[in-house]
Chain A
Amino acid sequence: MDAKDLNVVNKPVIKMDALGLACGEPAFTDDVEFKGLLCGKILWSPHAHARIKKIDVSAALKVPGVKAVLTCKDLPRVPHTTAGQGYPEPSPYDTYTLDNKVRFVGDRVAAVAAETPEAAHEALLKIKVDYEVLPAVFDTFEAMKDGAPVIHDEEDSKNIPDAKHNIAARFDFEVKNGEWFKEADHVFEHSWKIPYLQHCAIEPHVTIAHFDNSGRLVLRTSTQVPFHVRRIVAQALKIPVKKIRVVKPRIGGGFGSKQEVLEDIVAALALKTKRPVKLEYTRKETFVSSRTRHPATCRLKAGVKKDGTITDAEMEITLNTGAYGSHALTVMMCSGSHTIPMYRVKNNIRFIGRSVYTNMPVAGAYRGYGATQGFFAWECLMDMMAAKIGMDPVEFRKMNYIKLGEGSPVFKAMGEGREGVEQVITSTGLFEAIRKGTEEIKWAEKRAKYAAQSGPIRRGVGAACMMQGSGIPEVDMASATMKMNEDGSFNLLVGAADLGTGSDTILAQIAAEVLGIKTDDIIVTSSDTDITPFDVGAYASSTTFISGGAVKKTAEKVREMILEVGAKILDQKKEELRLEGGKVVAKDGASCSLSEVANTSLYYYNQHQITASASHFAHTSPPPFQANFAEVEVDMETGVVKILDYVSCVDCGTAINPQLAEGQNDGAVLNGISHTLSEEMEFSTNGTPLNASFRRYKIFSAADTPPLRTFLIPTWEPAGPFGAKSVSEIGINGPLPAVANAIYNACGIRLFDAPFTPDKVLAALKKRG
């Protein structure tokens, strides 16, 4: 099969929820009314590290309208992880719904539910906490030293590799084929740094916990992982899974932050008060107390021969996981497993990974998931190596990138919490992506033109290539259910969590393609743990590949059932029939409509509901590939860097919906650009966040945004539904290195420390002289 044969897939079908959203229909978590809804609020720690000696809530309870005040004494003490991952999660169990210790400024201390926000706020002010302030540590390298404050000194946490040295996760791996750097003509060693970054989904984290009419707890929540929410809340509060229903309405963006299960506390407030409770994070709380990207120091040491062969590579990444382990291990693994296989390394490979606790906000999943940190280093180093041996950086990449049919020892060695899988590349459009990108950015012409420049304004072009995965092989699983209605329409029930990505639409397209109908004839429901079948959720670039696979299988089963009935109606052999244009069509041209099939099955003959469910998991995680190109202008006198053009060429296999795929990539790229030139969370020396607002943590606006040009490079991935691979994350990894390389091309300075603010640029120019 090939994309030319497709009728619905690979077409820009209108996103099915778009019109309602554009008209302001009440679609989001907080857009519905609940009678008697209480307001939940959390008391956050003002200290980076302290033990709660005493906590007195009596005055808070007396505030009129206050219905509950919870402290750690009121809740079961269950070590768990907030990382919404498959069970058993590979993350440390180091988190408690409420604890007698606080580990960062913004950690939970107590929770309140009250009739009004004002009463809840007043109650927070009246909780008296007696803290024993402990020495705190904010730097990962300090935290690993002997004698550093131990952040997780509790006895009952589990799966922390070295709590004494604040190590939340570690992994070392080596491929050794001879003496290190023996063959190298040049050896490079540098470190690259990424600061604290936040997802900035425009909808803050919000949950309404209420009860159904049999008293079961219902969590209506802005989550990417409804089934993990159900499981982890049940675990943390020691209630049965069957007592919880999780409903995911429309979600106002997630980018990984909503892969985190923070719903336990509002569930506890509802259970305590027996009333519906809403907990909506403020923007500040979202910045500080939800999750962030892992700040990282990535040291790369690599050797290259004059002919362009990469001989050896050693990657050491140190991630700051903040106060809790969350995604400490898995992000660290992906920083290597998504990057090291990108280029062939002839002799020796070493990966040294550490995720380290500090008394800082908690890092979690964030679009790119380690690959962002890794590729910043890798793709800058690729440019440095190319420059040294006098090769064009694009040609150097073309010579070394992983080709069709090739594998890497890293795929098997570095999984996510368990061993990975062996795999070879079964589709790649990287060659074409590079060709298209160099043409669009006018690479050769501009490299030549910008080689000799003078004056205060300099221009440059830079490139970066990258890959990601498509789901976690042999870990991620998704399922779907379809049922047929009288008019030949279908309900498609999926656990996959559309968080604004358009996954409902592309899953419907996949089903429609199989059934020979239009997407309009599919009604999608996502996601409700009472109604939709299991899906791990929207993360790890898995939805198109894994959930899409489940939907395709489901639709194929349904197709068989339809054909059975059609065969009876048309009195033909099933094998002679196909589905086309909303009909069962026979080879001789006879046909019957799907509504006739549905009515026959429901009312007339051998009555049954045409319905099926199927599950899907994968043995491989085929990487999407990208080539990115940036053209920048550097003002040598002010240090201001302006991006003039950004070209992103994307191999995501078959784009199920090209319009939505482009949108995914545009958004990922802009997020990366915003990381590159603006974003960083700032802290005082005692760990207090200083810019936890959109006013002071600047994400790019429409006016800030340079021209972004996404080009889809079609390939066909045999393991994916209709040839598809993932698309959502990869684009965020390009801008940091592509822009850094373009700055070098413009003015000869190397920047190792994101973001590239004008002061850093000017300082680097001065240092260079």
Chain B
Amino acid sequence: MKNIKYYACPSKVKEALSLLLNKRYKAMALAGGTLVSKTLPDSVETYLDLKNLPIKDIRLQGGNLVIGAGATFDEIDRSRLCRTWAGGSIAAAAAACSTQLIRNMATIGGNIARPHSFNIFPVVLLALDAKVRLQTGKGAKLIDFQDLYTSGLGLRPGLDSLITEAIIPAKTRNWKCEFIKLARTASSWESYITLFFSAEKKGKSVTQARAAVGALSPRPFRAPEAEKAMLSGEGAAAAAAFAAELEAARAGEYRCAAASNLLKRFMEGKI
């Protein structure tokens, strides 16, 4: 922060973006600021505060659940939509993030802007096939969440573009889902592992299945073999496949055992 010369708090996305793209200002965007305010790079000269941007709504749009990037964890936790969507798993994930004081400040946009192992929402969005809307110099861009951290994106949100929305597709509304954070304490930032299991059930068969893993690495990942086994409705097989995939990801003995047990429990309890 010591080189900050300007502070801006625009109320329009367009205005924010033009400031961000104006090289003269060397601006960086901050939402809640919980992560970055203490570690702002010295090269940044303009602190672009996103708090007044109209990107906070949580709403239904075309059947999809749209969460504005500026929505705080607290707002997501308290949102009726998030408390009912996918069995309330989105609100549950928001509530599991750190502490109330952080949840009052931190936003979903800030939480997904950069890959970090302690972020809560990446694993959620990955398992719900979410999309992310970005505003760039060349207009809006809609991408799959899973492409956000790939080098092919060619964008650095917060520096040359802004995340404005996370869009959770309509199909997931009634999926059976569970967010699990295994951590030293409830308020830990860092978790041993975070898990998001989701499954769609039609009649007796499982038609969609996701097993996503967070906290092991900056980018969350899905476990395709476990998901295949989930589709067959076999809890034990899914757990075994999951354990193998976690082991391959160097999760270590404890995480492999606990996470695969939890997947089995999910399959047997919720599916």
- A contact set with B: CB distance below 8 Å: 118, 456, 637-640, 677-678, 695-696, 698, 700-701, 703-704, 757-759, 762-763, 766
Contact = CB atoms under 8 A, between A and B. Distances in A.
A703 B186 contact: yes
A758 B189 contact: no
B187 A698 contact: yes
B262 A637 contact: yes
A696 B190 contact: yes
Contacts of A700: 185
A758 B258 contact: yes
Interface string B255-271: 00110011011000000
Given A456-B265, A758-B182, A758-B192, A639 B258 contact: yes
Given A456-B265, A758-B192, A637 B185 contact: no
A759 B252 CA distance: 10
DSSP majority for the A interface? loop
Closest 4 pairs between A and B when the two form their complex, measured CB to CB: A637-B261, A759-B254, A638-B258, A698-B185
Contact of A758 (B2, B99, B186, B254): B254
Contact of A762 (B187, B254, B265): B254
B184 interface: yes
B152 to A, nearest CB: 33
B188 interface: yes
A456 B187 CA distance: 24
Contact of B182 (A456, A638, A704, A766): A638
Contacts of A456: 261, 265
A695 B189 contact: yes
A287 B120 CA distance: 27
Among B184, B192, B265, find the residue whose CB has the most chain A CB atoms closer than 10 A. B184
A624 B99 CA distance: 37
A757 B191 CA distance: 13
A689 to B, nearest CB: 16
Contacts, number: 52
A701 B182 contact: no
A762 B254 CA distance: 7
Contacts of A639: 254, 258
A762 B257 contact: yes
Given A637-B265, A762-B257, A704 B185 contact: yes
A701 B186 CA distance: 8
A456 B185 CA distance: 21
Interface string B1-16: 0100000000000000
A638 B262 contact: yes
Interface residues of B, number: 19
Contacts of B2: 118
A698 B188 contact: yes
Nearest to A755: B184
Nearest to A699: B185
Contacts of B257: 637, 762, 766
Contacts of A118: 2
A762 B187 CA distance: 22
Given A758-B192, A762-B254, A763-B254, A638 B185 contact: no
Among B185, B188, B192, find the residue whose CB has the most chain A CB atoms closer than 10 A. B185
Contact of B261 (A638, A677, A695): A638
Given A758-B192, A758-B254, A640 B182 contact: yes
A202 to B, nearest CB: 14
Contacts of B258: 637-639, 758, 762
A639 B258 CA distance: 8
Contacts of B99: 701
A702 B216 CA distance: 27
A696 B185 CA distance: 10
A638 B261 CA distance: 7
Contacts of B185: 677-678, 698, 700-701, 704
A759 B265 CA distance: 18
B188 to A, nearest CB: 6
A704 B189 contact: no
A732 B182 CA distance: 26
A700 B188 CA distance: 10
Given A637-B265, A639-B258, A678 B184 contact: yes
A678 B264 CA distance: 27
A118 B1 CA distance: 13
Nearest to A759: B254
A516 B86 CA distance: 66
10 contacts: A637-B257, A637-B262, A638-B262, A677-B185, A678-B185, A700-B185, A704-B185, A758-B258, A762-B257, A763-B254
Contacts of B186: 701, 703-704
Interface string B37-59: 00000000000000000000000
A703 B261 contact: no
Among B2, B190, B257, find the residue whose CB has the most chain A CB atoms closer than 10 A. B257
Interface in B218-271: 253-254, 257-258, 261-262, 264-265
Interface in B172-212: 182, 184-190, 192
A610 B130 CA distance: 79
Contacts of B254: 639, 758-759, 762-763
A640 B258 CA distance: 9
A757 B258 CA distance: 13
Given A698-B187, A698-B188, 19 more contacts: A456-B265, A637-B258, A638-B182, A640-B182, A677-B185, A678-B184, A696-B189, A698-B184, A701-B187, A703-B186, A704-B186, A757-B184, A758-B182, A758-B254, A758-B258, A759-B192, A759-B253, A762-B254, A762-B258
Interface in B134-191: 182, 184-190
A695 B190 CA distance: 8
Contacts of A703: 186-187
Contacts of A763: 253-254
Contacts of B190: 695-696
A118 B264 CA distance: 54
B255 to A, nearest CB: 8
Nearest to A697: B184
B60 to A, nearest CB: 31
Given A639-B258, A759-B254, A704 B187 contact: yes
B268 to A, nearest CB: 10
Contacts of B187: 698, 701, 703-704
Among B182, B192, B254, B262, find the residue whose CB has the most chain A CB atoms closer than 10 A. B254
Contacts of B262: 637-638
B62 to A, nearest CB: 37
Contacts of A678: 184-185
Nearest to B261: A637
